[in-house]
Amino acid sequence: MNDMIAIYALVALLSVPLGIYIAHALGAQPNRLDTLFGVIEKPIYRLAGVNSQHAMTWQVYALAILKLHVGLILLAWLVFMCQGLLPLNPDGIPGMPWDTALHTAVSFATNTNQQHYSGQAQLSHLSQTFAIVTLQFLTPATGLAVLVAIARTLLVAKPAKVLKGVGNYYHDLTRTLVRVMLPLAAVVALLLTWQGVPASYQAAHQVEMLDPQVEEVQSIPLGPVASMVAIKQLGTNGVAGTGPTQACRWRTPRRWRTLSKPLH
């Protein structure tokens, strides 16, 4: 009962300041956050070769989402199949079969997050980081960007610097990632690492059993777990780095970690 009261109280305390911050971060009116995050966002626009102030119709906005996600699916598909030949694979995990790799890529690119694999046994650290975590950031950020575009269309007649259309997808996506998803995930990941959740690219630890009569050695998987759990919770993603998911004791090493999950 006390835990439930604490959860509801924290939600009530955090909702207002977090909501105000997100409204300012993603709003159309210029503010100080533009100066703070502009040094990161502007090079991204130049590198991607996009005009962030070019207004898109809803059809062009939807097409931009489709093109990006098809590209992400193909890239993740290749990474999953070729992970046995790529770096950051200290456990020597072979590549996925093409159908499992395609299912996993499509699942995460659509934020469905359905798993037909066990993370610690079938995905390398590179696949977890470069493919899974990247999609865990981009897919919920796309959902929030679309929500911003809908709200902009319904609530604002002529947003600043936008003459027509629903806005610019790349502008909305970049601001959602840089101003909301990445800062919050970084804070949560650091807290998890501080509390003992693994954040490593080392191979699995081989541990001898306490019972001397048992000759088997237990393999304890590591990996970039803290960063995965952080965006998993913040982005309402269903994936976990291990098959048992939250049942792994080192994923919830402290009581506050268990209490924090409903907050995300």
* β-sheet bridge partners, residue 205: 220
Instruction: Calculate the alpha carbon distances from 155 to 46, 48, 147, 164 in Å.
Output: 30, 29, 12, 14
Residue 5 lies in a domain: no
The answer on pLDDT for 110 being more than 60 is yes
Residue 27 lies in a domain: no
Distance from first CA to last CA of the chain, Å, rounded? 19
Q: What is the pLDDT of residue 70?
A: 96
Residue 213 lies in a domain: no
For residue 246, count other CB atoms closer than 10 A to its CB: 14
Collapsing DSSP states into helix, strand and coil, what is residue 208?
strand
Residue 108 lies in a domain: yes
* Eight-class DSSP state of 88: S
In a 13 Å sphere around the CA of 208, the CA atoms on its Cβ side amount to 6
Residue 65 lies in a domain: yes
Which stretches does DSSP call E strand in the chain?
Answer: 205-208, 217-220
Q: How many domains does the structure of the chain reveal?
A: 1
d(CA 98, CA 255): 40
d(CA 107, CA 224): 21
Q: Each residue of 7-46: pLDDT tens digit?
A: 788 888 888 898 899 998 998 888 899 999 999 999 999 9
Q: Each residue of 203-220: pLDDT tens digit?
A: 887 777 777 776 677 777
d(CA 91, CA 202): 9
Q: How many residues appear in the chain? A: 264
Residue 47 lies in a domain: yes
d(CA 184, CA 253): 20
Instruction: Calculate the alpha carbon distances from 188 to 183, 192, 200, 250 in Å.
Output: 9, 6, 16, 15
Question: Which residues, other chains included, contact 27 with Cβ-Cβ below 8 Å and sequence gap of 6+?
Answer: none
Residue 25 lies in a domain: no
Q: Each residue of 64-109: pLDDT tens digit?
A: 999 999 999 999 999 999 999 999 999 889 999 999 999 999 999 9
Residue 22 lies in a domain: no
Instruction: Calculate the alpha carbon distances from 112 to 2, 40, 106, 139, 259 in Å.
Output: 33, 30, 8, 10, 25
Supply the pTM of this predicted model.
0.84
Tokens matching residue 56: 């898109």
Per the structure, the complete domain to which residue 104 belongs is given by 32-208+218-263
